[in-house]
């Protein structure tokens, strides 16, 4: 979303995000099918989709009031947008963290390495929590501190 909003920064610390959600994962065709099903189901049963997503993230779903149209558009963008070229053009420092066993984003190390350049460090964590920043703030703080020292 920082690319979409054209945010000017000196350092981006990224947890589990990529400029193309499908391309940088293992089993790309399967991930696209899953996302297509999620989008279709979300149109009819948004709360069920959200509850399932939260559960896979290791979070409790509390049925908050959300703007379902905006969230649906985010899911469609997640499936369709490719911002790799724009991401690679950014000249500021970037540090990305990916979980090796993430249940949401099954990162393809081979593909993600294509994003590495002089300004972009990539680290792979031995975790499976897609919700690491929410569920483990102390570990997240240590990773942020590590990023600031690079």
- Please report the domains of the chain, with CATH numbers, ordered by start residue: 11-149 (3.40.50.1820)
CA 71 to chain centre: 15
Both structure tokens of 4? 């979409």
User: Which residue, among 45, 57, 28, has the nearest Cα to 132 in the 3D structure?
Assistant: 57
pLDDT of residue 1: 66
pLDDT of residue 66: 85
Task: Indicate whether 128 pLDDT > 80.
Answer: no
Among 2-11, 40-49, 105-114, 132-141, which is the least confidently predicted range? 2-11
Task: Indicate whether 113 pLDDT > 80.
Answer: yes
Q: How sure is the predictor about 4, in pLDDT bands with cuts at 50, 70 and 90?
A: confident
83 three-state secondary structure: coil
Number of continuous H segments (helices) and E segments (strands) in the chain: 7, 3
Query: Between the CA of residue 78 and those of 1, 19, 60, 121, 144, what are the distances in Å?
Result: 10, 9, 23, 23, 25
Count of CB atoms situated within 10 Å of the CB of 62: 8
In the predicted model, what is the mean pLDDT of residues 49-77? Answer: 91
Higher pLDDT among residues 131 and 38, named by residue: 38
Alpha helices, DSSP H only, in the chain?
28-44, 46-57, 68-80, 84-89, 109-112, 132-135, 137-149
Q: Is the dihedral of CA 10, 135, 141, 143 positive or negative?
A: negative
In the predicted model, what is the mean pLDDT of residues 75-91? Answer: 93
Task: Indicate whether 29 pLDDT > 70.
Answer: yes
What letter does residue 114 receive in the DSSP assignment? G
In the predicted model, what is the mean pLDDT of residues 16-35? Answer: 95
In the predicted model, what is the mean pLDDT of residues 82-105? Answer: 92
Task: Indicate whether 63 pLDDT > 90.
Answer: no
| Backbone region of residue 16 per phi and psi (left: phi > 0; alpha: psi in -120 to 50; beta: other values) | left
In the predicted model, what is the mean pLDDT of residues 101-125? Answer: 93
């Amino acid at each position: 979303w920082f690319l979409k909003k054209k945010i000017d920064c000196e350092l981006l610390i990224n947890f589990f995000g990529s400029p193309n959600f499908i391309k940088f994962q293992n089993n790309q065709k399967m991930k696209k099918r899953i996302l297509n099903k999620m989008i279709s189901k979300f149109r009819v049963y948004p709360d069920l989709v959200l509850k399932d997503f939260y559960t896979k993230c290791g979070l409790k779903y509390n049925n908050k009031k959300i703007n379902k149209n905006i969230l649906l558009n985010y899911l469609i963008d997640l499936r369709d947008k490719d911002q790799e070229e724009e991401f690679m053009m950014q000249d500021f420092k970037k540090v990305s963290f990916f979980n090796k066993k993430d249940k949401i984003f099954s990162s393809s190390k081979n593909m993600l390495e294509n994003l590495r350049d002089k300004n972009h460090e990539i680290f792979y964590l031995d975790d499976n929590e897609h919700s690491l920043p929410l569920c483990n703030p102390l570990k997240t703080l240590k990773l942020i501190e590590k990023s600031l020292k690079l």
